[in-house]
Structure 1
Amino acid sequence: MDPFESMVRDFMPTLFRPMSRATEEPAIAIEVQETDNAYLVTAELPGVKKEHIDIGITGNQVTINAETQQEKMAGETREWCNERYYGKFSRTIQLPLEIEEQNADATYADGLLHLTLPKKASSMAKKLEIH
């Protein structure tokens, strides 16, 4: 490989990659909605296999841990451009009320993680009736 080809190969992947990606892990994009009894969280996890996702709930905090792994290509290949992130990343969401962990539900399809997080009854505001 001549020096010019080597320089182009080394330079091209960083040319197209957003600068923040070279120095920090990507954030998990989320959407949080609220109903009277639950929080509904949708997280984007493109390219992540279901078995590489871990969800933890502690009080009113939900932590999503995920990992992407680079696929091995058959034969000899040279990378021309790579803007994808490979490795571990996480996101912690702090909600206003505690979550009832036993009744929480998670589904994952097409790169979207959907969480249904019921509010703990003891942490929900009670309406006091005046007599």
Structure 2
Amino acid sequence: MTTLARWNPFRSVARLDPTAGFDEFFRGLAARPLWRELEAAPDMRIDVSEDDGAFHVKADIPGVSKDDIEVSVEGSQVAIGAEVKRETQKKENRKDLCTERYCGQVFRSFTLPAEVDSAKAEAHYENGVLTLDLPKKANGSSRRIAVN
């Protein structure tokens, strides 16, 4: 099976930052470099495995309601999207010192080595992990999958 890798052009810039240790020491006292803020959006981490009859995908999507997850399969192309929501209610006499929790949309798309039988595909979401069971098929078709 082909190895899946997500490329982020800003990671290499952050790795080359010679003041990274110094920055971490004074994180709460000064503004962070712009390229670190660009990495604030979380990656959707996935594991893909295969057996004789199906592909099995696990995707980490913490803090999301199952109603806010959208999965679609077309042939061998799989797309997973989710909307991460965060309450913005502030209490009196409190100010934010650090806010790293992300809100917005996350999306991941990848191609499997064989077509998927979308009529038999299943999706389950529990404890922040989306699990997809995608049976293999010679002739694929497009279908939206409901998340249980």
1:91-102 equivalences under 5 Å are 91-102=108-119
1 CA distance for matches of 2:34 and 2:67?
A: 28
Task: Read off the aligned partner of 1:62 and give its amino acid letter.
Answer: V
Aligned counterpart in structure 2 of residue 86 of structure 1, from 100, 103, 109: 103
RMSD of the alignment, in Å?
A: 2.7
Seq. identity, %? 36
2 CA distance for matches of 1:49 and 1:13?
A: 35
C-alpha displacement of 1:26: 2.8
Unpaired runs of 5+ in structure 2?
A: 1-26, 141-148
Does 1:45 find its partner at 2:71? no
Shift of the 71–105 alpha-carbon distance from structure 1 to 2, 3 Å rule, reads same
C-alpha displacement of 1:83: 1.5
Hey, which of these two has a bigger chunk of helix by percent? 1
Does 1:110 find its partner at 2:117? no
Preserved contact between residue 48 and residue 68 of structure 1 (Cα < 8 Å): yes
2 CA distance for matches of 1:21 and 1:63?
A: 26
Does 1:58 find its partner at 2:60? no
Preserved contact between residue 29 and residue 43 of structure 1 (Cα < 8 Å): yes
For 1:29, the equivalent position in structure 2 comes to 45
C-alpha displacement of 1:71: 1.4
- Superposition TM-score, scaled by structure 2 size: 0.66
2 CA distance for matches of 1:98 and 1:13?
A: 52
Preserved contact between residue 65 and residue 88 of structure 1 (Cα < 8 Å): yes
Aligned counterpart in structure 1 of residue 89 of structure 2, from 49, 73, 77: 73
**Stretches of 4+ aligned residues off by more than 3 angstroms:** 11-21
2 CA distance for matches of 1:14 and 1:36?
A: 54
